[in-house]
């Protein structure tokens, strides 16, 4: 029986996949595990009652597994890895926090209206740390040749960074960070990523209210 997963619908397009890195992380995990699933697209500005009934907090993603609805991408990914151990997506503990501050520094820089407030520099520091890791370890992924959970968590966040900063700030990852650029290319060419990514126009419509509230 196919698993069921509730994820964010696109802003202004309730029938398209929206920009939620936690939703895509779960979809990527399901794809990498080769598990069939049924998607429910949830319009977060007009949540259906049935969704609130199963998930009163109203947040996505939520996965139905063994007749139980489970929220929180961290918990969902752990359950999926335990229930469907092949292929294993577990990240070795020493690599689990690589890149973990990239998303928050990206959001601060994206929202920033002051070019001298240090937010761009803070993001560059995090990207340089990722560059150093990738340079000093065999790749193409964070833990080596195989994709693991840490990559599936970073993939949507790096996609939004690329699209949103490119659109709103005409900014891109510096060419000098060649390992980061190569890593992003490797992530974005995964079959699982191609199948689960949010269209660029919906990334932009999703982030527009955060840039110009």
Indicate which residues carry an active-site annotation.
Answer: 20
Respond yes or no on whether the N-terminal peptide bond of residue 86 is cis (omega within 30° of 0).
Answer: no
Contact between 43 and 103 under an 8 Å Cβ cutoff? The reply is: no
Q: How far apart are CA 150 and CA 66, in angstroms?
A: 25
Contact between 5 and 63 under an 8 Å Cβ cutoff? The reply is: yes
Contact between 207 and 11 under an 8 Å Cβ cutoff? The reply is: no
Q: How far apart are CA 140 and CA 137, in angstroms?
A: 9
Contact between 150 and 98 under an 8 Å Cβ cutoff? The reply is: yes
The DSSP symbol for 7 reads E
Entry field: residues in the chain: 213
Return phi, psi of residue 171, to 5°: -115, 145
Burial 156-185 (b: 16+ CB within 10 A, else e): bbbbbbbbbbebbeebebeeebebbbebbe
Give the SS3 label for residue 34.
coil
């Amino acid at each position: 029986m196919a698993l069921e997963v509730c994820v964010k619908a696109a802003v202004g397009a309730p029938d398209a996949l929206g920009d939620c890195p936690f939703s895509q992380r779960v979809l990527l995990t399901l794809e990498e595990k080769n598990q069939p699933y049924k998607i429910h697209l949830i319009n977060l500005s007009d949540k259906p009652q049935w969704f609130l009934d199963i998930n009163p907090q109203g947040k996505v993603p939520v996965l139905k597994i063994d007749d139980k609805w489970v929220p929180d991408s961290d918990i969902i990914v752990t359950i999926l890895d335990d229930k469907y151990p092949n292929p294993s997506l577990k990240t070795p503990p020493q690599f689990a926090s690589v890149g973990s501050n990239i998303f928050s520094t990206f959001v601060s820089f994206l929202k920033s209206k002051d070019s001298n407030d240090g937010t761009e520099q803070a993001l560059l520091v995090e990207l340089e740390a990722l560059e150093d890791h990738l340079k000093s370890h065999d790749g193409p992924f964070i833990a080596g040749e195989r994709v693991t959970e840490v990559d599936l968590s970073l993939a949507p966040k790096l996609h939004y960074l690329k699209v949103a900063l490119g659109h709103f700030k005409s900014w891109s990852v510096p060419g000098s960070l060649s390992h980061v650029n190569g890593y992003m290319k490797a992530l974005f060419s995964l079959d699982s990523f191609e199948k689960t990514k949010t269209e660029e126009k919906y990334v932009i419509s999703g982030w527009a209210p955060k840039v110009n509230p």
